[in-house]
Amino acid sequence: MPSASFTASRSYVRRSRRKGANRIPTPSRTTSAEPCEPSCPVQPNQNIPAPSSVTHGGAQALAPPGSSTGGGGAVPAHHHSPYDLRRKSPSHHDAPGPSTSAATAGSPTSPATPTAPAQGYSAAMLPARKRPRRTCSASYENCTNTAAHYLQYELPDEVLLTIFNYLLEQDLCRVSQVCKRFQAIANDTEIWKRLYQSVYEYDLPLFNPSPCRFEFISPEESELANPWKESFRQLYRGIHVRLGYQDLTFKGRNLVYFNTVQGALDYADERSGSNSTTGSVSGSCSNHSTEGSPQGALIFLHAGTYRGEFLVIDSDIALIGAASGNVAESVILERESESTVMFVEGAKNAYAGHLTLKFSPDVTSTVPHHKHYCLEVGENCSPTIDHCIIRSTSVVGAAVCVSGVGANPVIRHCDISDCENVGLYVTDYAQGTYEDNEISRNALAGIWVKNYANPIMRRNHIHHGRDVGIFTFDNGLGYFEANDIHNNRIAGFEVKAGANPTVVHCEIHHGQTGGIYVHENGLGQFIDNKIHSTTSPANPTIRRNEIYNGHQGGVYIFGEGRGLIEHNNIYGNALAGIQIRTNSDPIVRHNKIHHGQHGGIYVHEKGQGLIEENEVYANTLAGVWITTGSTPVLRRNRIHSGKQVGVYFYDNGHGKLEDNDIFNHLYSGVQIRTGSNPVIRGNKIWGGQNGGVLVYNGGLGLLEQNEIFDNAMAGVWIKTDSNPTLKRNKIFDGRDGGICIFNGGKGILEENDIFRNAQAGVLISTQSHPILRRNRIFDGLAAGVEITNNATATLEYSTTAGGLCLASGVQPIVRGNKIFNNQDAVEKAVANGQCLYKISSYTSFPMHDFYRCQTCNTTDRNAICVNCIKTCHAGHDVEFIRHDRFFCDCGAGTLTNQCQLQGEPTQDTDTLYDSAAPMESHTLMVN
């Protein structure tokens, strides 16, 4: 008999149906190069059954009886195929056993196959009426058997297709070697699809292109002429676990069936000693062939639930589910004690795929199972686990455990969810690659990595856990790339106790207590991630991440944490973008921290850190908060466009503020209060809507070599018992005064340049007593120095161009100063006969003599300038009050008589004779 061959060939053109029962052959048009066969003319009276009643649809109607049942097309050994009666060669013997390989193609018993016509087309491709008949030479005088000739050359394709539907795969391969016509018909995709699905049950062809790799490919996407046949060939070596099939035998089929998985494993071990594979059929290889690659046994587990089997895999065996629809859901391995499946040493290229693995321990059992798992991978083995569903109801341990030196599995496309413990546990120097898995809704962490384990985890979806998403601890390592980690009840990623993971390109978001939590000497590198709400003490590296829209803060570093936080985009978080506390000392640089619902950076409880070259802007509260003994260093940052203060020192907040650009805040650029004592050096502080620097409520600090300019109110405010030191600053171009000191403010002002301010260069008021030494005050639009409201001062060796204006009763200590003529706007307005209200504003008031008018019934809160007394109140009973700062109520239109020197009346501002107080930030940071 010819040997069986699974060789894919091209599709064929179906022959048209011929009319009439008797056909007389016509002479052949074959060339001399084609092998000759004796002609067998059919006599006109010869009775040949008419094939016109048989169609391709009829082939399905006449399909073998077993084609729609389990075993699909299986024929018991005593059944003879209809084709046996018409075979030209002697009938073949029964199919060989599972360990016997069929003869190879091209054996001496194989019949000659006709060659193609010289015209370049195959005669088998033509309809019956046009296909040339073969003739023999004159030397052949006897005809071959008429029935065989009719079967091979005259019978319509549809009838042959119906006949071939009765054959199983090995007979089908043998008959395909009879001739090219048989080969084309026997390669029909529908025949092979029916055979394939009767054996493997899959909805799509499954290919095994390399060890430990199985993939379904749609026939429409395959480049093969017959993907069902090629898949059949690649998988034919498999052993089948299928209930009810173990005692069945099939003629034309060389497969082995077992009722239990352990039986199949034992059989595979026995066969491995002889290095032979089960059910092998020789044939030509396609491009997808796996021949020549070292492979272990292949075991198919058909649909069903397999309970109680203790499976320990110690060789290169592939276990794969076989069912229609969702394969993994239909094939279930379940166990109540010990581990469901264990891979141990020796399973280097083992495989388990398209299975459901369950571990459901009996809660009433006294057998401890804290070291038992649904899937266990031990030392020195590297199996592949693919497209599996893994479930565990054990409240201790983990669903999957990978442990020990040399443990290096590949786990991909698996669903590890709804477990009552940890989802995936990698420990004790284990490694492995874990890709594209769904890990969700587990009672404990989605993943544990500890004790120098170093896995690679890519593109996993880890979410909705009832604990942390990924927990690395006790010196755990690992490379985590492009994972989506979200909606876990605790942090998305926790690093603790010397663990040092590398986390890149991950999205970590919507954790209920934060994104990343690094503590107790945890390390780590976090690079190019998108992180929504992150906590991070210890010593991580957090680089090029998106950290945004967190329900708490962005990055949280505490407990003596360290770390490098750079090139991140941190925004939209409910609390501070970065929080540093409890002696933590990170490096924070090149970040954008913006649009937070609270502050930008919050340093408290003796926090430290180097914060440099960051862009901090548009935060709802302060850009930077420094409090409670904290001493950070801020250098070369741009802190701007905040809705309150730029940098806020309070409650003994200290530190250094150097070379920063602080501008355009709704409140002051810098505020210092309640014992805070920072060093503020070399900064540009400008564009504040409520002043440049505000020092109040006992604030201290050294302000040195800063440029403070273009602020809407005073460049520097010092009030309420504050005592800062200002040295070598430039305070200029203010839209109000230069320095304003009042309400008991003190301070030392040395070697400052104060110029081009709209109001007084230095205003000292209300019991204040500063020391001014070697300052230059010039080019102002008002007085150089004004002292009022029972204040005093010590003025030494200063140069004041603009005069020294003293309110009544003020007696400052003055020595060694150069005071030039008063050329301010007040004197010009008085000399020109203007109402002084013209040079007043809601925030600044001129210093001059002010009066009251008894005739106009003015109150103690009213003041009238000297020009209005002379013009508007001429002849009235007037009273000189004192020389001090005020604005004119006559010009403001708040008196009975209309001012003759001023325009339309304005609303009474109930002015106290002082500059308007700056807006103070009383918001406390609660984080």
How confident is the model over 770-788, as pLDDT tens digits?
999 999 999 888 888 999 9
pLDDT at 246: 87
Between CA 477 and CA 499 the distance in angstroms is 6
What is the per-residue burial (b if ≥16 Cβ within 10 Å, else e) of 694-730?
Answer: bbbbebbbebbbbbbbbbebbbbbbbbebbbbbbebb
pLDDT at 364: 54
Mean pLDDT of 511-515: 77
- What SS3 state is found at 262? helix
Which one, of 709, 661, 659, lies nearest residue 679 by Cα? 659
Radius of gyration of the chain (CA): 47
Q: How confident is the model at residue 120 (pLDDT cuts 50, 70, 90)?
A: very low
pLDDT at 195: 94
Between CA 602 and CA 229 the distance in angstroms is 68
Between CA 170 and CA 178 the distance in angstroms is 14
21 near 165, Cβ under 8 Å?
A: no
Q: What percent of the chain has pLDDT over 70?
A: 77
**Tens of pLDDT, residues 667-696:** 999 999 999 999 999 999 999 998 999 999
CA angle 825, 827, 832 (to 5 degrees): 95
Point out the least confidently predicted range of 204-213, 394-403, 476-485, 525-534: 525-534
Q: How confident is the model at residue 820 (pLDDT cuts 50, 70, 90)?
A: confident
Residue 688: phi, psi to the nearest 5? -70, 140
**Tens of pLDDT, residues 326-362:** 999 999 999 988 899 999 999 999 999 999 999 998 7
Q: What is the pTM of this model?
A: 0.65
Mean pLDDT of 123-146: 47
CA neighbours within 13 Å on the CB side: how many for 913? Answer: 27
Reported in sequence order, the residue ranges of 512-637 that DSSP labels E, i.e. its strands, are 516-519, 525-527, 530-531, 541-543, 546-548, 555-557, 564-566, 569-571, 578-581, 587-589, 592-594, 601-604, 610-612, 615-617, 624-627, 633-635
Mean pLDDT of 644-658: 96
Any residues with CB less than 8 A from the CB of 464 and at least 6 apart, and which? 440, 441, 486, 487, 488
For residue 481, CA distances in Å to 202, 455, 457, 530 come to: 33, 11, 6, 12
pLDDT at 789: 87
Which one, of 518, 426, 437, 512, lies nearest residue 477 by Cα? 426
Mean pLDDT of 899-921: 50
Point out the least confidently predicted range of 87-91, 363-367, 468-472, 645-649: 87-91
Point out the least confidently predicted range of 171-185, 549-563, 762-776: 549-563
Between CA 593 and CA 604 the distance in angstroms is 18
pLDDT at 843: 54
- Per 3-state DSSP, what percentage of the chain is helix, strand, and coil (rounded to 5)? 10, 30, 60
The type of residue at 121 is Y
Mean pLDDT of 48-58: 33
Mean pLDDT of 202-217: 94
Q: How much is the mean pLDDT over the chain?
A: 80
429 near 451, Cβ under 8 Å?
A: yes
Assign residue 808 a region: left if phi > 0, alpha if psi is -120 to 50, beta otherwise? beta
CA angle 170, 177, 287 (to 5 degrees): 75
Any residues with CB less than 8 A from the CB of 693 and at least 6 apart, and which? 668, 669, 670, 671, 672, 680, 685, 703, 708, 715, 716, 717
